[in-house]
Structure 1
């Protein structure tokens, strides 16, 4: 029933209207590190909302990223719109790269103060998170905030999904709402693959002598992992993880899995040039990190090289829901359509081929030996033996990724998540957000001690909510991925740039209120891993490992 005050205005506030919009959209879990510019929203906080507190905005957005990836729905973040959003920019950049749907509410100073230069001011607030978000806006009138939140939600969910931003001045929450409560509309995706395109692609794959599949995160995000397995088995096709491999879309222990493509054009071409038809599903074609010549420390000549190209003898078919990725793709043919739906539509069009074992691409990795100090491969080998079959694994190992995947072949029920952008810090925070959404699963974080520093505040949140997260830190006391870009002379001269000696992750964990243990011997490692993976609540193992030497891609 509408209540009107004596002066004829509506007594319902924008805050009350917005909270009802949040409810109708399912945005009742809020990740936040609030400043005073958001406090009017939190007055008389309703008990049907779940508030998840973080200690720094980069960790907060990272947690919301993991939560959205676990639920498949947009997450809600409330942070300061000026310096708070600035703190969060690395995580916003990563969420945008991962196409994570997220609504970020940025708290702004009261409208009457914005003509000056008030404390915590956010001039041009909607420009700050650009270009790493899909859309940003600030309501022209306070009573338009609920409608703007709904618009933001629908834009975040539209393919390609991504984070959006709504700036809300502090006093807007307590202003009168519109006379009629805002009604949330239904906006559902009705995009389906073109049957003619499905038929053409199926013909190309069926007629290929040696087809291959590059599996990207869009397949897994759309829930089509099992369908992709059927597709690969019908084609008897090698499956590669897309370069960077930010989210596992195919089981690594499957006999058709060929490993993750290195993000170097020369190595991509060497691998995919063996196939006559390659279909790239739900990934850019392709995300590159560098080129082979830039690993050299020799003086660089004048650059007359052509831009990266794919091998001419291979036909590339690229399926993505991102029109921009299709626009710059190196593939000869791109199709803008939901990748998961495309996989489901293809499977019935692919007759079963004879299942012949494909030749091994490399020799099996040797079983690592126990030693002191512990080696990274031995740590990963023991972790694989103890890892639950349905564990959700978050990894950030700039120098140890190759041995990790060699020793930990994740199965069909293991989730796998990594940074999509190259910005450090997502797995540490993302795992905590995933555990908020799925406390029934054990979440396992494998992150170097250098990467952990970017969102280390997430440890406090894991402890506060007693989340089932096991943090495993291969601690080699340095940013060694940077060290090995240099020759021996350069490493000694620039030691301050890569040496992290003196960081004790176990003590830091205990300081944030969770169990932390420093592990230095193989005998201690097996016992500690087993206990940490079965613990009631979060545990961090700081495992001292040897310098692995030059990293492999």
Structure 2
């Protein structure tokens, strides 16, 4: 590019050059008119992924970033568009997903008033669920601000960032000179003294345990953690409500996923003298035992949740904030995956003594009408491709899912990191955009599916290899079973979802679908759906499973 060409560019042209230089040529968007000047004369070397609603857009970008490990690019309206997307932004922040969100703002000359689609205090709207937000002081600052946002999104702990861009900035002159992308690399490594402390604690332990958090998988150290656990002969637990599978569930040292209740966590960890938590907060909690009671509560004089006395807990995290509120005896801020790799040569080989099985033998479910969710998962496990990537959201059925579908070393596992509903439907679509060579399998209740249902249209438009499996129990049963029997009847309209036909909804979005109400054809339908050329949804009617298990 000549100096004359560089000096005649618009902000739009300079920004597209920047996106190319950063490798951000896949765009997830549902634009409003405030972004349309960016899309004029759209270049054919960019992949535009359209979604029908902003929550689905951000969820798809979340899945894409988790597949690539690089920041994804979202372009939506900065006012109501961001408002629609907030549940998905909340989830992306909880999952530490790197993401750059460009929010369209009204033209600068209109901002003195209250124009249609204005984003008032645009940088404040998505807070606190973004790492950083910026708004350009001058139009020519847009590319530099986006590059800054990109680097912040990638820095550990990663997360979504936001840049508000006024509509007319795109057609203003860009800053003179060529686009330059700086190299920004993390120089943070585990402190050798910290590693020696952890290694000494593990070497001296009689009953060591490791807790595998999502940071291990995000950093690519899953197999390193397997080797570390085998060297230590240590039980490995999944961190509570883990959003990424960081240890194979089929491994004999796996002890299951810790329940998100302090009392149940302590029952597990009290069996060990040393526990090292890797890449997870200590701990993500959902409730406590006393909150399951429906009786009036007395004055709360209970202590804050704490870990068991007599168990030394060491915590490795890349999040300074998580370290600051950690319940562990000591917390160390460093890259968890690298810590796992560096610990391997430092710990001694422990005696290989068979650990007691953590679970009772799981009975084989029987075929019934209506079907049980356990039978559905049992058949699904037999038909799953060995490298299937599973996206799960089953508030009422997670125990059955993990019992019947123990995930192996080549299976990816993705779930909501926040408790906000809807991630798997959209996340699997975004993952498939990045990795069409692998089958993404969504297992998600019909209630959760409503939050990002629009992602079905995008999956169909791009003919993506995603299989959507809906255990349809006709209700928000995770809410139902928080109530006693009389309250369930009185509040029936608050949890009942009778009449939701997911197969018909999917076909309306152009996605092939089948509704299954008996066991006769289930296996054949699963096999076909998992080997289809493109997306398929199976709406499987299942019976009410009763009180959920953590």
Q: Which TM bucket (shorter chain)?
A: over 0.9
| 3-state secondary structure, aligned to 1:552 | coil
Question: What residue is the counterpart of 1:289 in the other structure?
Answer: 286
Question: What residue is the counterpart of 2:244 in the other structure?
Answer: 247
CA distance in 1, matches of 2:278, 2:262: 18
Kindly provide the CA deviation profile for residues 71-101 of structure 1, in whole angstroms up to 9, marking residues without a partner as x: 0000000000000000000000000000000
1:93 equivalent to 2:90? Answer yes
Question: What residue is the counterpart of 2:106 in the other structure?
Answer: 109
Question: What residue is the counterpart of 1:545 in the other structure?
Answer: 542
CA distance in 2, matches of 1:341, 1:10: 44
Question: What residue is the counterpart of 1:349 in the other structure?
Answer: 346
CA distance in 2, matches of 1:356, 1:399: 36
Question: What residue is the counterpart of 1:462 in the other structure?
Answer: 459
Kindly provide the CA deviation profile for residues 242-285 of structure 1, in whole angstroms up to 9, marking residues without a partner as x: 00111000000100000000000000001101100000000000
Runs (4+) off by over 6 Å: none
Question: What residue is the counterpart of 1:62 in the other structure?
Answer: 59
1:501 equivalent to 2:502? Answer no
| 3-state secondary structure, aligned to 2:134 | strand
| 3-state secondary structure, aligned to 2:426 | helix
Question: What residue is the counterpart of 1:338 in the other structure?
Answer: 335
CA distance in 1, matches of 2:371, 2:338: 45
Unpaired stretches in structure 2, ≥5 consecutive residues: none
Question: What residue is the counterpart of 2:121 in the other structure?
Answer: 124
Question: What residue is the counterpart of 1:476 in the other structure?
Answer: 473
* Residue of structure 2 aligned with 1:207, choices 204, 208, 223: 204
Do the aligned residues in 1 keep the contact of 2:214 with 2:279 (CA within 8 Å)?
Answer: yes
What is the CA distance between 1:3 and its match in structure 2? 6.5
What is the CA distance between 1:40 and its match in structure 2? 0.5
Question: What residue is the counterpart of 1:181 in the other structure?
Answer: 178
Question: What residue is the counterpart of 2:71 in the other structure?
Answer: 74
* Residue of structure 1 aligned with 2:519, choices 522, 526, 534: 522
1:257 equivalent to 2:254? Answer yes
State how many pairs are aligned.
550
What is the CA distance between 1:200 and its match in structure 2? 1.3
What is the CA distance between 1:179 and its match in structure 2? 1.4
| 3-state secondary structure, aligned to 1:334 | strand
Do the aligned residues in 1 keep the contact of 2:3 with 2:177 (CA within 8 Å)?
Answer: no
> What does 1:25-424 align with in structure 2 at a 5 Å threshold?
25-424=22-421
Kindly provide the CA deviation profile for residues 477-516 of structure 1, in whole angstroms up to 9, marking residues without a partner as x: 0000000001110000000100000000000000000101
Do the aligned residues in 1 keep the contact of 2:7 with 2:177 (CA within 8 Å)?
Answer: no
| 3-state secondary structure, aligned to 1:526 | helix
How high is the TM-score relative to the length of structure 1?
0.99
CA distance in 2, matches of 1:332, 1:344: 22
Do the aligned residues in 2 keep the contact of 1:397 with 1:446 (CA within 8 Å)?
Answer: yes
What is the CA distance between 1:4 and its match in structure 2? 5.7
CA distance in 2, matches of 1:485, 1:351: 47
CA distance in 1, matches of 2:95, 2:531: 30
Do the aligned residues in 2 keep the contact of 1:2 with 1:179 (CA within 8 Å)?
Answer: no
CA distance in 2, matches of 1:526, 1:349: 48
CA distance in 2, matches of 1:148, 1:480: 45
Kindly provide the CA deviation profile for residues 375-431 of structure 1, in whole angstroms up to 9, marking residues without a partner as x: 011001000000110000000000000010000000000000000000000011000
CA distance in 1, matches of 2:100, 2:177: 24
CA distance in 1, matches of 2:196, 2:267: 29
CA distance in 2, matches of 1:343, 1:49: 38
CA distance in 1, matches of 2:331, 2:3: 55
Do the aligned residues in 2 keep the contact of 1:484 with 1:550 (CA within 8 Å)?
Answer: yes
Do the aligned residues in 2 keep the contact of 1:137 with 1:167 (CA within 8 Å)?
Answer: yes
What is the CA distance between 1:193 and its match in structure 2? 0.8
How high is the TM-score relative to the length of structure 2?
0.99
